[in-house]
Amino acid sequence: MIISLLIPVCDYDIVAIVHSMKSCIGKVPEFIEILIGDDGSTPEYRARYLSLEGDGVKVIVSEKNIGRAAIRNKLALEAKGDYLLFIDADAMIPGTAEAYIMKWVEAMPSARVISGGVLYHASPPGDPDKMLRWEYGRKREQRKASERNKMPYAAFTTFNVLIDKSIFSKLRFNEELKQYGHEDTLFSYQLEKAGIKILHIDNGLIHEGLESNREYLNKTKLGIENLSMLYDNVTDKRAFSSSVTLLRIYNVIKVFRLNLILAGIFVRYRERMEIKIDSSNPSLLLFAIYKVSMFCTYREIHGRRKILPIL
């Protein structure tokens, strides 16, 4: 069984991680190539990626930005490996590349979809404008494999994951999702419906690319809008909801008919909440209320449209 490393990227410096990973080609027999998916980058960044080609590294170029799902699918079609190792461009290896790759090799016989997890630096970022993303990542996303394996589909993320190519070729990422958010949620749902197990291991990468508070709030909005539309499109809403904490909370709220009240709170107090969240000491509790009330608002908007289940 051989591994292809796939890195989708748009205007982000990946020189360091590619050089580090490249050192393993030849040392670890199962690791054969690195494919970089340039998703509509500027000429300056594209030149950097192209300079990395050779000795097992290849750049797949998309002249225009085709989106996170489409560029990953494009990379998978080009890959030679039996297993596809997807990592995000803003990841960093906490130890040596060889140790990181060997953990995947050792885990491959145990499962066909394996998630390595995400890590964050122990110290807060020097820029106080990035505290929201760091706080949320440290307290909500960084978890041991033993904890993630309790709810494997809910803990799934494409940040750092190894997938059997034969499985990926049947499911693929949904290219209709053009904007940011919940592509991994949908893929996890498809895995669960297909009866394909997810194994979580402790082989995390550090998330380096922390967005500013305002950027992260904007991404949160896009993600919640996507989630609401996906919820309308899936056929098995119970299974889909089971893997998303926000949906589980929403379903409880709806039973007690509090969804309209929360939607009203969001419309009225959105700006005030955002001002408090966009700070050097953000409240994760307020951020959770903000997301739930935003989702309730989108449900009211999308609920008035006639959307047929397609997935």
CA–centroid distance for 184 within its chain: 6
CA distance to 6, 68, 76, 212, 267, per residue, from 36 (Å): 6, 13, 11, 26, 42
Same domain, 232 and 152: no
Same domain, 164 and 272: no
How far is it, in rounded angstroms, from Cα 65 to Cα 67? 6
Same domain, 202 and 240: no
How far is it, in rounded angstroms, from Cα 300 to Cα 59? 43
pLDDT of residue 181: 73
Domain end, chosen from 163, 184, 210, is at: 210
Structural domains of the chain, count: 2
Same domain, 261 and 131: no
Same domain, 188 and 244: no
Domain end, chosen from 189, 210, 231, is at: 210
- 179 vs 163 pLDDT, higher one: 163
Same domain, 129 and 192: yes
pLDDT tier for residue 28 given thresholds of 50, 70 and 90: very high
CATH number, residue 149: 3.90.550.10
CA distance to 57, 173, 223, 230, 261, per residue, from 180 (Å): 27, 13, 6, 13, 27
pLDDT in tens, 80-95: 999 999 999 999 999 9
Same domain, 51 and 191: yes
pLDDT in tens, 232-287: 888 899 999 988 999 999 999 999 999 999 999 999 999 999 999 999 999 999 99
Same domain, 184 and 229: no
CA distance to 67, 114, 241, 256, per residue, from 245 (Å): 25, 21, 8, 17
For residue 309, is it within any domain? no
From the list 145, 120, 144, 146, the residue with the least C-alpha distance to 133 is 120
Same domain, 154 and 224: no
**pTM for the predicted model, two decimal places:** 0.93
In three-state secondary structure terms, 263 is: helix
Domain end, chosen from 144, 176, 210, is at: 210
Which structural domain, as residue segments, surrounds residue 270?
A: 217-303
Same domain, 70 and 164: yes
Contact 31, 2 (CB under 8 A): yes
